[in-house]
Amino acid sequence: MKSKKNLLWAILVISIGFQSCARRDEPQISDAWLGLQSVQNARQLGGIPTKSNCIVKQNAILRTGELSFLSNTDKYLLVNEYGLAHIIDLRDEVEVVDYPDPVIEGVQYHHLIVWPREVRLRNIQESYTDWGYDADLFIKNYYTAFALEPAAITAFQKMFDVLLKNETGSVLIHCVHGKDRAGVATALILSALDVEWKVIEQEYLLSNVVYPGSVDISSLRYYKNVIEKNYGSMEKYLETEMKLDENDLMALREKYTTD
């Protein structure tokens, strides 16, 4: 049984690390990178335009890979230059034990499991066909879980709760590589902030700058299609599953965007 789980885990690592050939879209979003030396894929959402001609505030929402090797220099930058107030860790129960986040004085830590280990193993098992393991099917199962699994829905609800209640500084969202779970979290946030989907796609593809070929836009589009098939629209999903009413959306936009 243990050897089978090890095999499933090895397949998972390969699948996530090398999603099917990424399109060479050139993201047009610049000035996103935080300049951290000890954290991979570290960027912020400031400057992204919304449909209503506002922009996301600078250094208000950050997204990165895991923080377990955060240096003192980068810790200082996060706290003093970027005003870090909250860390939202989207990793699973095993990942946080193996590579825990550092404790940072004055920064609140929130562990919100988007993809529990049991769901992970089930997604892998469901990705086998009569012809063997299907990596493309796994990616579809992976992104479907982000949209429909109760654990993911609950985690993202709590993420929005942190964003709404935050009054003290920036919010940093991370997973392991900062591209899939953090990518979907970012897509949800930018959707709530009234950003056009094509711009959300451009931001998502920036992970390929750090991990070439690691994200394919078809994955994010599949995630959106799953939501639209089950809820009708992203707006309805935000209302129904993220529990965001008009007042919440207005509060988020007032807090995290500017003219």
Q: At residue 11, does pLDDT exceed 50? A: no
Residue 173's φ and ψ, nearest 5 degrees, are -115, 130
pLDDT band at 215 (very low <50, low <70, confident <90, very high): very high
List of long-range contacts for 26-30, beta carbons under 8 Å, 24+ apart: 27/202, 27/203, 27/205, 27/206, 27/209, 28/202, 29/199, 29/202, 29/203, 29/206
Overall number of domains in the chain: 1
**Pairwise CA distance, residues 121 & 101, whole Å:** 24
pLDDT in tens, 153-201: 999 999 999 999 999 999 999 999 999 999 999 999 999 999 999 999 9
Full-model pTM:
0.89
Amino acid at 93: E
Which whole-number Å values give the CA distances from 74 to 40, 95, 115, 130, in the listed order?
A: 12, 22, 28, 48
Question: Domain of 164?
Answer: 2-258
Q: For residue range 90-137, what is the model confidence (pLDDT) as tens digits?
A: 999 999 999 999 999 999 999 999 999 999 999 999 999 999 999 999
What amino acid is encoded at 75 in this protein? Answer: K
CATH number at residue 26: 3.90.190.10
pLDDT interval class at 222 (50, 70, 90)? very high
Average pLDDT, the chain: 91
Percentage of the chain lying above the pLDDT 70 cut = 88
